[in-house]
């Protein structure tokens, strides 16, 4: 098969890396890709933006059999609908189904209709500023304020005080902080507990749940500092016991897919459930309509199945014929970021040492924000590289990840030194 992957981050690098292992993958292309992806996939001379006409035309000319969509923005804008209308199979939800991520209010309505456990909430639009402020006074702090639409991961404020919450409300509804994404907000209770992530592959009827993972959002050790898009991850997450995994499948993923079908917005692709483990069991923080990042970098290396076969089963409605199989080892990903991230940072720093990581070994480096300049690989984003290892036990996977990371250098590189320690503490092995 001739496969096109859309995206340019470490998630897409992990997807391309896994797809290449399939004997069905005749050729793999990536648009726009990055320095690492384009070492193992062919470049595409067509832009992805706009109304997608250019990339659709390119896919037709190049006889693409399968398009795999990585990021949320093109999914929400209907790229899967466009590929399907052109007669090209595409992995990912339709624009209507992608509202589960693109609209926090829509996701909450689906959860409420399906009886999925989540935080208590109210939604407000731009004409209800005073009502939103009054609601903050009524509920008190801590409280969470979310822009309804896509905001590049920056639309959530966990307010520790009422004044902080009111400021976030005003910035969204009055100041239009995130443009159209701020026209509606969701204000919800602040849940307390340990977070984890689980994915469900689905064809709109059957749901196959993945192993668990845990992301690390804060930029500094011990969960200090501002939140990032994800600065490291490991899988499996010990906090997700067999009973909690059963709860997630039966009370979260299956009801969500069933409700989407009842709602007239059937969901096909992969559904990400961002969870928090509370005293009352798992509750949903958010749904995403794609493989997460960096969770994708620890889930796919543990997956034994052929990813091409799995994606085609989701598209063709025969997922009930598939069983997911997993390596029984742990996977750890440590993200190397640009100095200053998630704030301002410089680009163009030369990266050295990548050649010291053998692609045939137990470590793999997934590129996130990289480019090539004058024959060198340079930094080109906030999150630059994801260094991933798979091994047993978890302690060895952690040691190997940091040993591999130690061979790589670029000016100002920053990374957390405690990825996986939360799991070891839970296991009593810290």
DSSP states of 238-270 as a string? TTS-HHHHHHHIIIIIHHHHHHHHHTT----EE
Asked if 115 and 255 count as a contact pair (C-beta separation under 8 A), the reply is yes
Please state whether beta strands 218-220 and 363-367 pair in parallel, antiparallel, or not at all (unpaired). unpaired
Phi/psi-derived region of residue 284, left when phi > 0, alpha when psi is between -120 and 50, beta in every other case: beta
Whole-number pLDDT of residue 360: 63
* Burial of 353 per CB tally in 10 Å (0-12, 13-18, 19+): middle
The upper half-sphere exposure of residue 66, i.e. CA atoms within 13 Å in the direction of its Cβ, equals: 25
The answer to whether the CB of 299 falls within 8 A of the CB of 329 is: no
Per-residue pLDDT 10s for the chain (430 aa) are 999 999 999 999 999 999 999 999 999 999 999 999 999 999 999 999 889 999 999 999 999 999 999 999 999 999 999 999 999 999 999 999 999 999 999 999 999 999 999 999 999 999 999 999 999 999 999 999 999 998 877 788 999 999 999 999 999 999 888 998 899 999 999 999 999 999 999 999 999 999 999 999 999 999 999 889 899 999 999 999 999 999 999 999 999 999 999 999 999 999 999 999 999 899 999 999 999 899 999 999 999 999 999 999 999 999 999 999 999 999 999 999 999 999 999 999 999 999 999 766 689 999 999 999 999 999 999 999 999 999 999 999 999 999 999 999 999 999 999 999 999 999 998 7
Closest by CA to 366, choosing from 405, 309, 420, is 405
Q: Count of alpha carbons within 13 Å of 283, Cβ hemisphere only?
A: 17
DSSP string, 58-105: HHHHTT-SEEEE-SHHHHHTTHHHHHHHTT-EEES--TTTTHHHH-HH
Look at residue 361 in the predicted model and tell me its pLDDT.
67
CB atoms within 10 A of CB 41: 25
Q: Dihedral of CA 45/51/53/59: which sign?
A: positive
3-state SS record for 315-365 = HHCCHHHCCCCECCCEEEEEEEECCCCCCCCCCCCECECHHHCCCCCCEEE
Residue labelled with tokens 């959860």: 111
Quote the tokens at residue 237: 């997450």
- Residue 142 has, within 13 A of its CA and on its CB side, a CA count of 9
Residues 253 and 230: their CA atoms lie apart, in Å, by: 23
In angstroms, the CA 260 to CA 314 distance is: 15
Q: Which of 44, 46, 43, 64 is nearest to 55 (CA)?
A: 46
Distance of CA 99 to the CA centre of its chain: 15
Query: Can you tell me whether residue 301 is helix, strand or coil?
Result: helix
Burial status of residue 54 (CB atoms within 10 A of its CB: 0-12, 13-18, 19 or more): middle
pLDDT for res 177: 87
Q: Which pLDDT score, from 0 to 100, does residue 414 have?
A: 98
Is beta strand 224-227 parallel, antiparallel or unpaired with respect to 156-159?
unpaired
Give Cα separations from 293 to 64, 82, 136, 408 (angstroms).
Answer: 26, 25, 32, 21
CA distance 385 to 351: 10
Q: Give the Å distances, CA to CA, from 299 to 177, 178, 234, 419.
A: 34, 31, 8, 16
Helix, strand, coil fractions of the chain, as percent rounded to 5: 35, 30, 40
Q: How far apart are CA 407 and CA 355, in angstroms?
A: 9
**Separation CA 332–CA 214 (nearest Å):** 10
Bridge-based pairing of strands 330-337 and 363-367 is unpaired
């Amino acid at each position: 098969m001739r496969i096109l992957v859309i995206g340019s981050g470490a998630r897409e690098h992990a997807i391309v890396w896994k797809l290449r292992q399939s004997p069905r993958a005749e050729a793999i292309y990536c648009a726009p890709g990055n320095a690492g992806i384009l070492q193992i996939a062919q470049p595409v001379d067509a832009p992805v933006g706009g109304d997608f006409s250019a990339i659709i035309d390119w896919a037709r000319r190049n006889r693409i059999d399968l398009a795999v969509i990585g990021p949320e923005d093109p999914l929400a804008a209907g790229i899967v609908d466009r590929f399907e209308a052109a007669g090209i199979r595409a992995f990912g939800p339709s624009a209507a189904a992608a509202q589960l991520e693109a609209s926090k209010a829509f996701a909450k309505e689906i959860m409420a209709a399906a009886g999925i456990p989540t935080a208590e909430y109210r939604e407000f639009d731009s004409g209800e500023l005073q009502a939103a402020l009054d609601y903050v006074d009524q509920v008190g702090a801590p409280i969470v304020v979310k822009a309804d639409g896509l905001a590049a991961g920056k639309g959530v404020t966990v307010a520790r005080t009422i004044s902080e919450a009111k400021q976030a409300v005003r910035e969204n509804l009055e100041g239009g902080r995130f443009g159209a994404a701020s026209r509606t907000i969701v204000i919800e209770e602040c849940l307390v507990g340990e977070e984890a992530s689980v994915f469900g592959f689905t064809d709109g009827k059957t749901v196959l749940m993945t192993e668990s993972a845990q992301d690390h959002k804060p930029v500094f050790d011990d969960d200090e500092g501002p939140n990032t898009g994800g600065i490291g991850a490991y899988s499996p997450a010990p906090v997700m016991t067999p009973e909690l995994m059963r709860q997630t499948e039966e009370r979260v993923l299956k009801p969500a897919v069933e409700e989407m079908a009842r709602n007239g917005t059937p969901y096909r692709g992969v559904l990400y459930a961002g969870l928090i483990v509370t005293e009352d069991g798992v509750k949903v923080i958010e749904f995403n309509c794609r493989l997460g990042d960096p969770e994708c970098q620890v889930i796919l290396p543990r997956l034994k199945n052929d990813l091409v076969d799995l994606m085609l089963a989701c598209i063709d409605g025969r997922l009930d014929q598939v069983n997911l199989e997993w390596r029984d080892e742990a996977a750890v990903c440590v993200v190397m970021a640009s100095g200053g991230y998630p704030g301002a940072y410089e680009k163009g720093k030369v990266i050295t040492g990548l050649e010291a990581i053998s692609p045939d070994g137990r470590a793999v480096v997934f590129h996130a924000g990289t480019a090539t300049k004058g024959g060198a690989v340079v930094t080109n984003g906030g999150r630059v590289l994801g260094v991933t290892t798979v091994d047993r036990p978890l302690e060895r996977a952690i040691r190997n990840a940091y040993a591999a990371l130690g061979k790589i250098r670029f000016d100002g590189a920053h990374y957390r030194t405690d990825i996986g320690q939360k799991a070891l503490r839970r296991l009593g092995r810290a």
